[in-house]
Amino acid sequence: MKDKVKVIAFDADDTLWENEPYFRKSEDQFAEMMSDYMPPHDVNRALLKTEIDNLPTFGYGVKSFVISMIETAMKLSDGTISGKMVEKIIEIGRNQLNQPVFVLDGVEKVLKALQNKYKLVMATKGDLMEQEGKLEKSGLEQYFHHIEVLSEKKKSNYDKLIAHLDVRPEEFLMIGNSVRSDILPVLELGGNAIHVPFHTTWEYEKAEVNLDHASFHALEHIEQVLELVG
């Protein structure tokens, strides 16, 4: 892998910095708000279904999440929630967007070690303004040659990104925590992929990680990337 890779792309959320725990905290707050209508666990299941149904229309990120919370609240309450409840839901989203960005252990060490050896790219999905804000707060922008915020991470999107970077698929390496978004599409197009798990994963992103593929590696910590391509 080390001899052929020219571009290394890093996922952002839960690969470079913490993200999913904030969503879990917001979900818990929402479930507690709606506990008069349904037990919290069932509220979370209803919210997940709404989120997945809304992905083709609203995409990813906190703003889409807020819309899904409001829609779920309307459904569970049969349209009877008050304006005050809607305000509280919006405030949950606003508070989440204003949270600090915590860079994960080992990330900056890896980026510093690789930045003069490879073209480094941040390839993430979500809301453009939201992701740009987190990148600025993280202080990691200096390490990346290119920033790409995708509406979705599927084979066709990676094809376009690789073409834009002017490399062949076998010269491209994607590093991320989501098997569904960061690993499978890249392997499908002939690229290389490294899975670095995060302790919390959104249900929608979960997929089988026990892959048998010559261009795939599963690591326990991001610093182990340096043993493969450092």
Residue 1 in domain? no
Question: Does one domain contain both 215 and 132?
Answer: yes
The partner residues of 8 in beta bridges, in order of sequence, read 120, 173
Spatial distance between the Cα atoms of 205 and 94, rounded to a whole number of angstroms: 24
Helices (H) and strands (E) in the chain — how many of each? 9, 6
CATH number of residue 210's parent domain: 3.40.50.1000
Domain range holding 50? 20-97
Give, to the nearest 10 degrees, the angle between helix 20-33 and helix 83-97: 160
Question: Does one domain contain both 141 and 44?
Answer: no
Question: Does one domain contain both 58 and 129?
Answer: no
- Among the candidates 97, 123, 157, a domain finishes at 97
- Among the candidates 51, 72, 97, a domain finishes at 97
Question: Does one domain contain both 12 and 60?
Answer: no
Q: Which residues of the chain have pLDDT under 70?
A: 1-2, 201-210
Question: Does one domain contain both 217 and 149?
Answer: yes
Q: Which helix (H) or strand (E) holds 119?
A: strand 119-125
pLDDT at 213: 80
**Per-residue pLDDT reduced to its tens digit, 168-180:** 999 999 999 999 8
Task: Kindly list the strands in the beta sheet with 7-10, ordered across the sheet, starting from the edge strand earlier in the chain.
Answer: 146-150, 119-125, 7-10, 172-176, 192-195, 216-218
Question: Does one domain contain both 83 and 123?
Answer: no
pLDDT at 208: 62
pLDDT at 167: 96
Question: Does one domain contain both 72 and 105?
Answer: no
Q: How many domains does the chain have?
A: 2
Question: Does one domain contain both 24 and 71?
Answer: yes
pLDDT at 29: 97
- Among the candidates 42, 74, 97, a domain finishes at 97
> What pTM does this model have?
0.91
Residue 157 in domain? yes
pLDDT at 230: 79
CATH number of residue 30's parent domain: 1.10.150.240
DSSP string across 131-175: HHHHHHHHT-GGG-SEEEEES--SHHHHHHHHHHHT--GGGEEEE
Residue 2 in domain? no
**Per-residue pLDDT reduced to its tens digit, 26-60:** 999 999 999 999 999 999 999 999 999 999 999 99
Closest CA to 192 of 220, 164, 208, 211: 211
